[in-house]
Amino acid sequence: MKSRDYHLYTKEDFLEDAFFVEWVRYARPEATAFWEAWEAAGHGNVADMRYARQVLEGIYGLERFKPADAVKAAVWENIHAAVFHGSVAARRPSLRWLRYAAAAVILPAALIGGYYLFGNREKKYTTGNGEHLVVTLPDSSIVTMNANTTITYRRWSQQKREVWLSGEAIFEVKPAVKYLAAPFTVHAGEIDVEVLGTVFNIKYRRNKAEVFLQSGKVRVTELQKHTAVVLSPDQKANYESDRLQVVTVPANSAQTMAWRENKMELTMTSVKEIIETLQDQFGYTIVLQDSSIANKTIEGTLRLQNINSVMFELSAILNVTIEKHNDTLTFKNNGPRGY
């Protein structure tokens, strides 16, 4: 979140930004340091940022807002006069209490209206080719998004915390808190993943889903057949062709989460799997001049910082020539090695 172009934000953008909202509500030290430095930098939209902060501070202060007894008494007295005497003008109330009464009614109404105007919109985050993004959700849960991934969510409540995912992301879900006590659910194609405080990786691409649990406990539900499995740490659930399957042999955490460090950990990994990952990460169409290349396997670490370094490593390992033209990579077999 901190890498976003906040200097381009409008008032509405600030009101919808999870990292900004979290700072206003909780004032955590790291967030405070960031926003104070940002404000001091003198961006052209500082006034918009301050306005949004005031609106949010008002919203979060509503539960503590109580009009003074004098104000309540004055309001009631004039309502009583209007009902029983037909007019409030004869009582000649002072302008001061009228201002207080108006503030007591208008300010909360305006703040609530602003909350529902801006807070009920759908929020969407999307990454492009080779891009990662860290998003802080309204409950302080952290989502690390892989390349070519989209997450969306709407305003949460005590009944639901829901996120929709297309692509791949690691979720570090915070336990339910008083103001957001609902289970946390991720919707990914034909499956739902329900959690209550855990760390897991979920991948949904090509109509296939994979859920790896690092810690905690999750329930994975297949929506068509209403079948469900509960995962323990280091277990994985795969969904493909209307079938939900649990990998009971402990999965490799380092291998599954390696994308966060821009690399692939390969253990007898087929070139076909590597090609799918490159397509997901960089958006290229990959053509194999010789289909037998797809069945080769590789072990080791493949670094994914940029497509050129990947091409260099794969061409040496596989003894192929890789040609790049626009958005297409073509793998050409060099034939038997000369040694």
Q: Kindly state whether residues 106 and 133 are assigned to the same domain.
A: no
Average pLDDT over residues 67-89: 49
Q: Kindly state whether residues 194 and 223 are assigned to the same domain.
A: yes
How far is CA 107 from its chain centroid?
A: 32
pLDDT in tens, 134-192: 998 888 889 999 999 999 998 776 667 899 999 999 999 887 655 455 678 999 999 99
Give the CATH number, domain containing residue 202.
2.60.120.1440
Query: What range defines the domain where residue 245 resides?
Result: 123-252
Q: Kindly state whether residues 230 and 149 are assigned to the same domain.
A: yes
Decide if 339 is inside a domain.
no
Decide if 77 is inside a domain.
yes
Decide if 136 is inside a domain.
yes
pLDDT in tens, 244-275: 887 765 667 778 889 999 999 998 899 999 99
Give the CATH number, domain containing residue 291.
3.55.50.30
Burial pattern 45-69, b for ≥16 Cβ within 10 A else e, equals beebbeebbebbebbbeeeeeebee
* Residue 253: DSSP 8-state: H
Decide if 176 is inside a domain.
yes
d(CA 303, CA 305) in angstroms, rounded, equals: 6
DSSP lists the bridge partners of residue 283 as none
Sign of CA dihedral 51, 52, 56, 59: positive
Q: Say whether pTM exceeds 0.85.
A: no
Query: Mapping DSSP to helix (H, G, I), strand (E, B) and coil, where does residue 166 land?
Result: strand
Q: Kindly state whether residues 40 and 110 are assigned to the same domain.
A: no
Q: Kindly state whether residues 85 and 194 are assigned to the same domain.
A: no
Decide if 338 is inside a domain.
no
d(CA 98, CA 228) in angstroms, rounded, equals: 60
Backbone angles phi, psi at 34, to 5 degrees: -65, -50
pLDDT in tens, 188-207: 999 999 886 689 999 999 88
**Of 117, 135, 160, at which residue does a domain stop?**
117
Note whether 267 and 249 are within 8 A (CB).
Answer: no
Task: Indicate the angle between helix axes 69-85 and 95-119, nearest 10 degrees.
Answer: 100
Decide if 257 is inside a domain.
no
Q: Kindly state whether residues 187 and 229 are assigned to the same domain.
A: yes
**Helix ranges restricted to H, 148-206:** none
DSSP lists the bridge partners of residue 205 as 208
Q: Kindly state whether residues 96 and 148 are assigned to the same domain.
A: no
**Of 228, 252, 276, at which residue does a domain stop?**
252
Q: Kindly state whether residues 174 and 234 are assigned to the same domain.
A: yes
The model's confidence at residue 212, banded by pLDDT at 50, 70 and 90, is very high
Nearest residue to 305 via CA among 336, 263, 272:
263
Q: Kindly state whether residues 213 and 287 are assigned to the same domain.
A: no
Q: Kindly state whether residues 130 and 169 are assigned to the same domain.
A: yes
Q: Kindly state whether residues 141 and 200 are assigned to the same domain.
A: yes
Backbone angles phi, psi at 303, to 5 degrees: -90, 135
Task: Indicate the angle between helix axes 46-61 and 18-26, nearest 10 degrees.
Answer: 60
The domain total for the chain is: 4
Decide if 273 is inside a domain.
yes
Share of the chain above pLDDT 90, in %: 26
Sign of CA dihedral 315, 318, 323, 329: negative
d(CA 183, CA 171) in angstroms, rounded, equals: 14
Decide if 134 is inside a domain.
yes
